[in-house]
Structure 1
């Protein structure tokens, strides 16, 4: 096995995901994490949003959307595609590092891509989003900032 797959997760569901962009021909997988979903009890609206984002991210490539235990599903997908390397974009989710370590322990090489910096931040993490947004809104919305690009029809 020497192929490559891309693993998408809830923090990387975009057609411009760095791991996807670095591997344009690689098959991609998104997994609805059953143990997490059982605990989080997300609304149907949120689940449908994630599904739509996953569809958009894998459009035009060999991809799969599954549900189950993340590490098991990534390993199965890698085996189906004779891949020994998993590309993924970094996440701050606590379980992300656990999944990466488990994939590596089970024989897969994991390449972690880093997303572009949205805004600069110094100091303690805020306890609420509103406090964060007050400090970074001007930088995030400034023309020419390193924030995400909007499609031309959304820029006014």
Structure 2
């Protein structure tokens, strides 16, 4: 079988993640990176937040939330699903490139999906954030989707 799985990471925990949207039927995995967590010492609140985000991201599809060494867990998940492709959304995290390279070295094809830009920018980099923000605030604060469904209004008498 030439199937695909989606690997979610800390920068892609949303149901609108590009890798998830590009593969609506593919199973997805999120791995709590044990070596990173040991060094980062995140609070329980932060870990629980990541867990809730992972649950929301994989809701409605086959998925798994694991802990361990990221590359080992993603490889195992792909093998369980007889997948040869791992789809993932790009990240600026330094570990990301290393993980992608390690996955490719194991024979998996890794397809990286890009995030849409937050704002479009042309010109020289601004020297101050305030100058940048004045130019992009309207674009950055513009709604990008329909948002969550609101409950139907009920007549109250």
When normalised by structure 1's length, the TM-score is 0.84
Which of 113-122 and 93-102 deviates more?
Answer: 113-122
Unpaired runs of at least 5, structure 1:
none
- 1:2–1:84 CA contact under 8 A, matched in 2: yes
Specify the alignment match of 2:76 in structure 1: 76
Unpaired runs of at least 5, structure 2:
151-157
Specify the alignment match of 1:10 in structure 2: 10
When normalised by structure 2's length, the TM-score is 0.84
Q: Alpha carbon RMSD of aligned pairs, Å? A: 2.4
Specify the alignment match of 1:52 in structure 2: 52
Distance apart, 1:149 and its partner CA: 5.8
- 1:118–1:148 CA contact under 8 A, matched in 2: no
Structure 2 CA distance for aligned equivalents of residues 38 and 134 of structure 1: 40
Any idea what the Cα deviations from partners look like across 1:86-144, whole Å, max 9, x if unmatched?
Answer: 0000111111010000000111000001111111246559898x88766643321135x
User: Relative to 1, partners in 2 of residues 1:152 and 1:8: Cα closer, same or farther, differing over 3 Å?
Assistant: same
